[in-house]
Structures are given as structure tokens and as C-alpha cells.
Amino acid sequence: MEIIIKKSFKKEFTRLPANIQSATQVVLKRLRSAGTLEAAGVDYVPVRGQKAGRSFYRIRVGQYRIGIEYIAPNLILITIAVRGDIYKTFPPK
């Protein structure tokens, strides 16, 4: 699986607390080593309210959520934010 990291994700990642950064790195390692999102063993759920034909998911990392788009075999990391705030901007309209 190829992981594509958006500029917005990188920017938000640098602003996270150290413990969340390390937990996120563990999740990213699992994603890189897995062939599919299902095989990665991470807590992911499809995002409700998205347009038909889109494949947006969120991955849970403590109180934070990683917003991704999964178009096999590509995984696009779009955003990471606190659970209550991520849904204000994700999924993109």
C-alpha cells in the first residue's frame, strides 16, 4: 500500500503533543507494513455523510482522528485533529 501524505497533515502533525505524535507514528508504521487498510489492524471507520463513490475513513488515535481517503492501493493522509474538531472540515465537500 502506498501512503501519500498531504501538506495539511504534515502541518497539523507538527503541532500535536509528543505522545500523540508517537502514537500516530506507530499507526503509520502499521499502515506501511500492511497490504490493505483491513490488514493494518487499526481502528478505522467510514465517515458518514460523504458523497457516493467516495472512500473517506477516520482512524482513531486516542482523542485524535486521522482523516484519510483510501483508494486501493493508495492511502491519502489528509488531516489529523481532535475528535470534536475534525468533522468541521472532514470529509472535504
**Is this model's pTM higher than 0.85 or not?**
yes
Partnered with residue 85 across adjacent β-strands are none
DSSP 36: S
pLDDT per residue as tens, the chain (93 positions) = 899 999 999 999 999 999 999 999 999 999 999 988 889 999 999 998 777 767 999 999 999 999 999 988 899 999 999 999 998 988 887
Superfamily of domain 2-86: RelE-like (3.30.2310.20)
Domain ranges of the chain: 2-86
Task: Classify residue 91 by its DSSP letter.
Answer: S
Q: Does 91 sit behind a cis peptide bond, omega within 30 degrees of 0 on the bond before it? A: yes
Q: Are 70 and 57 in contact (CB under 8 A)?
A: yes
